[in-house]
């Protein structure tokens, strides 16, 4: 059985958090008394001892099964320590004055917590007694040094070495047809995992924006059965040591960095490359890892690692990848192993908080992730197809996927991820594409909540047979940090959801049936991400401004009441990303707008402002000022416009974002008599083509607007700016001439031309009968 080595990595990542909690005054005050205090001190002492032997245990577990078993037991206990401290810390942070009627319940919970604490300390005692027999040595705890990820090209990161001839052959196959006259549509490339098949295929693709399919596979049997392929399947061999060295060196030695001991490091590096077995991925991963290691001792440790000598029966993972993982700092080990829950080829979007960005950039540069594609809302990354195998192997029994059920995978109580009834302490539940899942039923939500009391993450994206409703017991999941119900048919959310003091992320986007958020949302003191875009929510709960930890809020609906007005946004100091504000018609005065402090929120990347104001059907006048959208609501050109006689678009500081006149129906403004459009420099296209009652038309600073008037119009007053750059042609002059030519003759007609002091000539194609009154303002 393959050895899983996740234990030490997860433990070492836990310790800083555990020690911070043990030192919390609120926790100490919650568990008062001499005996409980002594228990806390004893637990801290045990954890300090464990911490200093972790590095040695992590190394020895690779070859010593007893050490691996010891780490598994320790890991299980530390999870329980974390659960207990999280529970006590939460109760300590949320406790208020307890009335006499509830004091007995409060005391009972405290007694239960102390009992758990005593049991855990005793178990830690037993585990530490085994330390001596395992000959575990104490090593000083290394602190992670600050390091900034080196920038790489998003296309392919680094150059491709030793593949010029391979690329030439494949390009020739791309350009030629088969001997029998039929066109080759699929070109299979076969090679070992990590040899560089995908990188080569991407390079060929980039040099030839053509219509062939480049397929890569590790198995020739797969390539043979693919239809429409070439008679000659291309086999990609390993790199030579020389070319493999070029790959390694390009990652290990930054061009901008000179090292005094580079000669010595290169000599060791060439010996390491020989162990990479001609695999490009192995050279990349080790080179990226050693990029930040400057000591000769560190390079020698890689060269002499026991992992190189592990038999394939014990570890089917490329040794270089195992070593690259072993030298990750603890926090990155934990992040990477968590990826074992993702399906292969799953795209990861790089859009997180600052610390998460730093961790992710670090993994990309090593390179545990690779750039996949670039889209409007961010960059997408995938893992090389060998990396999920590594993550799954490392996760062992602590991480489990439902699709492993048919592979005789052992399941026991130490599994802290996928949910099964036999498990006691699962922390993460991921339910994706659940049409054939046993959880796809009416009782799904109830079953999940009742079984998984220690959940940190709940992620449900699937189409349920019937709309699920979160049960009231959801409020008992006090450890929950992340809840994602996006794209589900969820229609209601229990009020008890607001008891989740530790909840940091709540995703509800595309829950089209959801019309309301719980009323006490302001109690979610640690909420950092709230996504509710594309829901049917009508208004926001009261006092949302109290959520002062918010990093991401994609939608806010302005309410009519003081406690859900736009000024509640003023309490959100640091929102990031894209942001939409709806129902701006409910903003009643300028003071409310100032209190929202939108201008102070410097981390907002994009903003959408929506106004659903819709007047009654018999409106006769409309003036719109300060509108900054790119198009007007549908009602502007709909039924309510049929009675409008005066229409004005203007703003003192200009409507500079309006680009298109909405696609009105043919009889949108049948009685419109006056139309003024001022300071709309981006407005283009034509006016509504049916304005039979129009008498007055004023257009100023709208240079792209094509304002032709149909011959049936009875316009008696025109006002255009005549700019020097437009005098010799262009949309404004052409539309002006067409408009003038279409005016019906009447003795009251006038034409006003403004700002034409630089004009050198004036068009003379105006019919004589149309020159009734021309006023120049030059």
Domain membership of residue 260 (yes or no) is no
The answer to whether 50 and 128 have CB atoms below 8 angstroms apart is yes
- Within 8 A by CB and 6+ apart from 620, the residues are 643, 644, 645, 646
Residue 756 token pair? 């034409």
In Å, what is the CA distance from 622 to each residue of 61, 369, 448, 511, 676?
Answer: 77, 55, 54, 36, 11
Residue 481 token pair? 């940090």
∠ Cα 28 31 32 (to 5°): 85
Domain membership of residue 370 (yes or no) is no
Distance between CA atoms of residues 305 and 686, nearest Å? 74
Residues 586 and 631 in one domain: no
Residues 593 and 681 in one domain: no
Domain membership of residue 338 (yes or no) is no
pLDDT tens digits, residue range 658-681? 777 665 555 667 778 888 888 777
Residues 407 and 451 in one domain: yes
In Å, what is the CA distance from 377 to each residue of 2, 219, 533, 605?
Answer: 41, 36, 15, 10
Q: Report residues of the chain scoring pLDDT below 50.
A: 1-5, 97-99, 101, 146-157, 376, 405-409, 411, 413, 416, 418-419, 639, 651-652, 722-733, 745-746, 748-749, 755-778
Distance between CA atoms of residues 273 and 244, nearest Å? 7
Distance between CA atoms of residues 52 and 704, nearest Å? 72
Among residues 20, 52, 207, 216, the alpha carbon closest in space to that of 137 is found at: 52
Residues 479 and 576 in one domain: yes
Residue 508 token pair? 């509800």
Confidence (pTM): 0.72
Residues 424 and 480 in one domain: yes
Domain carrying residue 434: 395-609
The answer to whether 234 and 184 have CB atoms below 8 angstroms apart is no
CB atoms within 10 A of CB 264: 13
The answer to whether 480 and 86 have CB atoms below 8 angstroms apart is no
Residues 662 and 581 in one domain: no
Among residues 166, 160, 164, 211, the alpha carbon closest in space to that of 184 is found at: 211
Residues 400 and 524 in one domain: yes
Domain membership of residue 712 (yes or no) is yes
CATH number at residue 504: 3.80.10.10
Distance between CA atoms of residues 615 and 631, nearest Å? 18
Domain membership of residue 728 (yes or no) is yes
Distance between CA atoms of residues 470 and 107, nearest Å? 29
Domain membership of residue 215 (yes or no) is yes
Q: 408: alpha, beta or left, given left = phi > 0 and alpha = psi -120 to 50?
A: left
The answer to whether 576 and 555 have CB atoms below 8 angstroms apart is no
Residue 354 token pair? 């600052």
Three-state DSSP state, 484: strand
Strand partners, 750: 717
- Within 8 A by CB and 6+ apart from 690, the residues are 666, 667, 668, 669, 670, 710
The answer to whether 417 and 457 have CB atoms below 8 angstroms apart is no
Among residues 144, 145, 142, 141, the alpha carbon closest in space to that of 48 is found at: 141
Residues 464 and 590 in one domain: yes
Domain boundary among 558, 583, 609: 609
Distance between CA atoms of residues 348 and 364, nearest Å? 11
Kindly report whether the peptide bond that precedes residue 487 is cis, defined as omega within 30 degrees of 0: no
Residue 652 token pair? 């003192």
Domain boundary among 588, 609, 630: 609
Domain membership of residue 50 (yes or no) is yes
Q: Where are the beta strands (DSSP E) in 567-700?
A: 577-582, 604-609, 621-625, 646-650, 674-678, 685-686, 696-700
Residues 597 and 635 in one domain: no
Chain mean position to CA 233:
39
The residue whose two tokens read 């109290």 is 546
The answer to whether 660 and 706 have CB atoms below 8 angstroms apart is no
The residue whose two tokens read 């030695």 is 253
Domain membership of residue 314 (yes or no) is no
- Within 8 A by CB and 6+ apart from 724, the residues are 756, 758, 759, 760
Distance between CA atoms of residues 427 and 264, nearest Å? 47
Residues 498 and 551 in one domain: yes
Residues 577 and 638 in one domain: no
What is the tally of helices (H) and strands (E) in the chain? 19, 24
How large is the C-alpha radius of gyration of the chain?
34
- Within 8 A by CB and 6+ apart from 31, the residues are 37, 40, 88, 110, 113, 114, 117
Q: How many domains does the chain have?
A: 4
The answer to whether 724 and 759 have CB atoms below 8 angstroms apart is yes
Name the DSSP class of 633: -
Alpha helices per DSSP H over 176-279: 197-207, 220-224, 241-252, 262-274
- Within 8 A by CB and 6+ apart from 419, the residues are 426, 429, 448, 451, 452
Strand partners, 104: none
At residue 566, the pLDDT reads: 92
Residues 92 and 171 in one domain: no
Domain boundary among 176, 210, 235: 235
Residue 50 token pair? 């464990």
């Amino acid at each position: 059985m393959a050895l899983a080595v996740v234990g030490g990595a997860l433990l070492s990542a836990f310790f800083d958090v555990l020690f911070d909690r043990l030192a919390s005054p609120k926790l100490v005050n919650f568990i008062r008394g001499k005996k409980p205090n002594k228990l806390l001190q004893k637990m801290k002492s045990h954890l300090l001892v464990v911490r200093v032997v972790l590095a040695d245990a992590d190394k020895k577990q690779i070859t010593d099964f007893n050490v691996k078993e010891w780490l598994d037991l320790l890991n299980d206990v530390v999870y329980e320590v974390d659960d207990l401290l999280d529970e006590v810390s939460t109760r300590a942070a949320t406790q208020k004055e307890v009335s006499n009627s509830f004091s007995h319940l409060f005391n009972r919970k405290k007694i239960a917590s102390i009992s758990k604490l005593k049991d855990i300390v005793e178990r830690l005692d037993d585990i530490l007694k085994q330390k001596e027999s395992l000959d575990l040595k104490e090593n000083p705890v290394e602190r992670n040094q600050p390091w900034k990820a080196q920038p790489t090209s998003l296309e392919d990161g680094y150059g491709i070495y030793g593949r010029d001839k391979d690329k030439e052959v494949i390009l020739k196959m791309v350009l030629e047809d088969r001997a029998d006259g039929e066109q080759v549509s699929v070109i299979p490339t076969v090679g070992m995992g990590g040899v560089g098949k995908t990188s080569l295929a991407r390079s060929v693709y980039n040099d030839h924006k053509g219509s062939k399919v480049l397929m890569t596979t590790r198995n020739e049997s797969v390539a043979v059965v693919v239809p429409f392929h070439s008679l000659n399947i291309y086999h990609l061999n390993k790199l030579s040591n020389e070319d493999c060295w070029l790959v390694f060196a390009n990652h290990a030695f930054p061009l901008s960095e000179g090292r005094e001991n580079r000669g010595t490091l290169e000599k060791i590096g060439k010996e390491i490359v020989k162990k990479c077995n001609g695999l490009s991925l192995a050279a990349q991963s080790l080179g990226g890892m050693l990029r930040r290691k400057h000591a000769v001792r560190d390079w020698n440790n890689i060269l002499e690692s026991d992992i190189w000598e592990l038999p394939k029966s014990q570890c089917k993972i490329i040794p270089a990848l195992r070593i690259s993982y072993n030298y990750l700092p603890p926090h990155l080990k934990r992040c990477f192993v968590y990826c074992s829950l993702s399906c292969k080829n799953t795209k990861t979007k790089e859009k997180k908080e600052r610390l998460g960005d730093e961790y992710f950039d670090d993994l990309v540069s090593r390179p545990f992730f690779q750039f996949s594609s670039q889209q409007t809302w961010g960059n997408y990354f995938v893992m090389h197809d060998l990396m999920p195998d590594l993550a799954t192997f490392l996760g062992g029994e602590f991480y489990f996927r439902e699709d492993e059920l048919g592979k005789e995978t052992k399941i026991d109580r130490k599994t802290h991820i996928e949910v099964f009834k036999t498990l006691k302490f699962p922390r993460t539940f991921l339910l994706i594409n659940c049409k054939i899942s046993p959880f796809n039923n009416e009782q799904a939500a109830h079953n999940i909540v009742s079984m998984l009391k220690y959940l940190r993450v709940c992620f449900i994206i699937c189409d349920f047979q019937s709309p699920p409703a979160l049960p009231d017991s959801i409020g008992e999941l006090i450890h929950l940090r992340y809840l994602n119900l996006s794209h589900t048919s969820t229609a209601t959310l229990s009020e008890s959801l607001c008891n989740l003091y530790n909840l940091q992320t709540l995703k509800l986007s595309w829950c089209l049936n959801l019309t309301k958020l719980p009323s006490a949302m302001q109690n979610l003191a640690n909420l950092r991400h709230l996504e509710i875009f594309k829901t049917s929510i009508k208004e926001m709960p009261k006092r949302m401004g109290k959520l002062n930890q918010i990093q991401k809020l994609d939608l806010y609906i302005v309410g009519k009441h003081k406690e859900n007005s736009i000024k509640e946004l003023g309490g959100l100091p640091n929102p990031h990303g894209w942001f939409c504000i709806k129902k701006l018609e409910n903003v009643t005065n300028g003071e409310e707008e100032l209190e929202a402090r939108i201008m102070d929120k410097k981390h907002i990347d994009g903003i959408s402002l929506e106004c659903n104001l819709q007047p009654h059907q018999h409106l006769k006048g409309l003036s719109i000022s300060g509108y900054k959208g790119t198009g007007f609501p549908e009602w502007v050109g709909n039924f309510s416009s049929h009675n409008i006689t005066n229409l004005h678009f203007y703003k003192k500081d200009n409507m500079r974002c309006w680009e298109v006149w909405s696609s009105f129906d043919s009889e949108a403004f049948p009685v419109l008599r006056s139309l003024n459009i001022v300071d709309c420099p981006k407005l283009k296209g034509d006016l509504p083509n049916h304005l039979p009652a129009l008498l007055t038309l004023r257009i100023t600073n709208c240079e792209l607007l094509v304002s032709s008037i149909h011959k049936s119009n009875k316009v008696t007053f025109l006002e255009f700016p005549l700019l020097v750059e437009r005098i010799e042609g262009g949309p404004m002059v052409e539309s002006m001439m067409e408009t003038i030519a279409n005016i019906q003759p009447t003795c009251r007609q006038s034409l006003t031309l403004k700002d034409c002091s630089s004009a050198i000539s004036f068009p003379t194609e105006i019919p004589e009968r149309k020159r009734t009154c021309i006023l120049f303002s030059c």
